[in-house]
Amino acid sequence: MKKSHIIGIIVIALAIGIIMTTAGDASTYVSFGDAIEMAEDGNSTKVHVVGRLKKDEQGHIVGMQYDPMLDPNYFAFTLVDTNRFEQRVVYYNPKPQDFERSEQVVITGSMQQDVFVADKILLKCPSKYVEKEIQQNTAAL
């Protein structure tokens, strides 16, 4: 066998290994109820949960806890999933920018005891796009 063939086989083997590792780390979308059941069964697989922030009548977020002077890497809030189940979420990183403006939140992580520990937070903020669209439409009139 030529050296180029051996190098080609090694590159292909590495690519397959990387693909298998990435596919094994993929998670699924579930509700908090499903995440709790998975944790009770001993399954610590990371999952995605979609929800909305719990807000009061005035639109203020209820239960948000973040004090960067005390601990900049501790952020906690209450999320309501698509089944209207409320769950406390802890994120051991700084609070994401524009968190208060988000309409919908997607979190990735797993249940640990009685809280959901998030590794990643994805914010969906359609309101900022709607504002720009309204300003453009009114400017054209």
Residue type at 1 in one-letter notation: M
pLDDT digits (tens, 9 = 90+) for 5-32: 888 899 999 888 888 776 655 567 899 9
pTM over 0.85: no
For tokens 């720009």, the residue is 132
Q: Which two tokens stand for residue 43?
A: 């399954």
> CATH class for domain 27-140?
mainly beta
DSSP lists the bridge partners of residue 88 as 78
20-32 burial code (b ≥16 CB/10 A, e <16): eeeeeeeeeebbb
Going by DSSP bridges, is the β-strand pair 115-124/86-91 parallel, antiparallel, or unpaired? Answer: parallel
Chain length of the chain? 141
Mean pLDDT of the region 87-96: 94
- Cβ atoms within 10 Å, residue 39: 18
